[in-house]
Structure 1
Amino acid sequence: MQAGTRKAYYLLNLGVPLVLAMVVFMLFDLTHLDRMISNLLLDPATGQFPLLHNQWFEKVTHKWPRILPNWTGEAAIIGALLSCLWPLLAKRPTLANNLFLEKSRIAPLLRFTTRYRRDFFFVVVAFALSTTVIHYLKSHTSVYCPVETTLYGGEHLRVEWFENFSWFNKAGDGRCWPGGHASNGFTLLALYFVARRHRWQHARKLLVAILLIGLIYGTTRVLQGWHYMSHTFWAGIFVWLSSWLSALLFYGRKALQAPALRRSQATRTTALSAMPASLRPE
């Protein structure tokens, strides 16, 4: 459907996530399924989540995985900043053609960042918007994590996100819905839209890999009792919508919907993009 009509494109990229949101809402938020899943993870002897205080598990599944989205975001910011330098140097040929810049690989790097400036800025904006949306929802729903509720030895009552939701005011101190760690993994969806924009033939494989990363990030927190399973699904839905909207604003539907390039086409396109504009064929 990626290469189909405009209607098909919106049905796939907007309609499917909205349908999934309704399914998650009815299947989890209106039932006890979340609690049933979490109860299966409890230690019958202690009534606690066995991995809740496991420092090794916390480090390997929570702290270390943050490196991937954090470094991606930082690389995008650096790339966006560097992309503004080469046009300035180009106005001064003596600096742009400096032998030191070429030998030290600085000039090729600056040219690369300039060529893909829109992609770098898109990733920065997509990451920022996704993070903002997740933080907004957390503060305006005030949902406490499972281990913070009286169901699992905590002090707070369990409430659903729609029971506390407020558009303009912070609902309370709870910060558990949607899943924050899962959303960190899902922010990498921005890379999928970059791949779609460049018509990379493996874009769908990249999409599957990123979705798996987000699911794994979220599930590890469920195993520790810090989230319910539905929190992961909600995080993925909201990050997808935020990233997709950012991609539409930066690239437009036609660029995102264009069919993937074959290997020969991709090679020719890459060669042409690296060629000076004056030498490119009409």
Structure 2
Amino acid sequence: MYLIQPWIDSTGHFFNRDNWYLERLNHEIVKQIITGIYVIFFGLWLASFKVEKLKLYRWQYGYMFFVSMIGSALVGLLKSQSAHACPWNMVHPTALSYVWDFTAKHGHCFPGGHASAGFILMTGYFVYRLEQPKRAYFYLISGILLGFMMGWAQMMRGAHFLSHNLWTGWVVWAVNILFYAVCIHRFEFEKRIKQELI
């Protein structure tokens, strides 16, 4: 609660709710850029069926795209079934200030869907950790930072509490751990194949 209080004015309104930078830049443009990255991975995966040079990386491209989409879709599914209200639906003005309504059931605000667009970049950590550790850590750190930055911007608008975004990060991480545990042998096999070809 303390982390979201600074973004509420004395009348109980989230004064950044319609802020251009938070709404347009963070909520739309950054998300579109990340979506573009995944469209590229999907395109590379499709091209790998025709382009011989890409064939060696087909597994990585496909894994990056499909596991990321599964993680993002799971967050979206959980959010669509959630009864948790958004902070901007829980604050009600009074004569002197405002009050929090913890019985609000407007729903569909948990976990934070927008932050998942950043957090799904963590999938790259699992894709590259065996073969390219530096690239793997780039994806891990980028995913964590972008997820928190995108989630924090939504907190400033009143769309989510910090806990919503923390759960989003956890769900995406758990999906990645699960798929990686199932696919670890395939990653090891792919690494051996590439080493033999070099």
Shorter-normalised TM range = 0.7 to 0.9
Indicate conservation of the 8 Å contact 1:51/1:223, yes or no: yes
Indicate conservation of the 8 Å contact 2:122/2:141, yes or no: no
- Trace 1:183-194 onto structure 2 (pairs within 5 A): 183-194=116-127
Tell me by how many angstroms 1:152 deviates: 4.2
2:27 is aligned with 1:41: no
Indicate conservation of the 8 Å contact 2:154/2:160, yes or no: yes
Q: Residue 220 of structure 1 corresponds to which residue in structure 2?
A: 153
Indicate conservation of the 8 Å contact 2:79/2:110, yes or no: yes
CA distance in structure 2 between the aligned counterparts of 1:227 and 1:78, rounded to whole angstroms: 33
Tell me by how many angstroms 1:240 deviates: 0.6
Q: Residue 121 of structure 1 corresponds to which residue in structure 2?
A: 62
Tell me by how many angstroms 1:115 deviates: 0.8
Indicate conservation of the 8 Å contact 2:78/2:111, yes or no: yes
Say what the alpha-carbon RMSD is for the aligned residues.
2.8
**Higher Rg:** 1
2:171 is aligned with 1:232: no
TM superposition score normalised by structure 1: 0.59
TM superposition score normalised by structure 2: 0.82
- Trace 1:253-264 onto structure 2 (pairs within 5 A): 255=188
> In 2 relative to 1, CA 237–159 (structure 1 residues): closer, same or farther, beyond 3 Å?
farther
Indicate conservation of the 8 Å contact 1:143/1:159, yes or no: no
The CA deviation string for residues 91-149 of structure 1, in whole angstroms up to 9 with x for no partner, is xxxxxxxxxxxxxxxxxxx2232110101111122122102211221123221211123
Task: Give the number of aligned pairs.
Answer: 189
Q: Residue 52 of structure 1 corresponds to which residue in structure 2?
A: 17
Indicate conservation of the 8 Å contact 2:22/2:157, yes or no: no
Q: Residue 180 of structure 2 corresponds to which residue in structure 1?
A: 247
- Trace 1:31-110 onto structure 2 (pairs within 5 A): 35-44=1-10, 46-85=11-50, 110=51
Give the % identical residues. 25
> In 2 relative to 1, CA 204–253 (structure 1 residues): closer, same or farther, beyond 3 Å?
farther
The CA deviation string for residues 41-93 of structure 1, in whole angstroms up to 9 with x for no partner, is 2123x3312211123431122111112320122112212211222xxxxxxxx
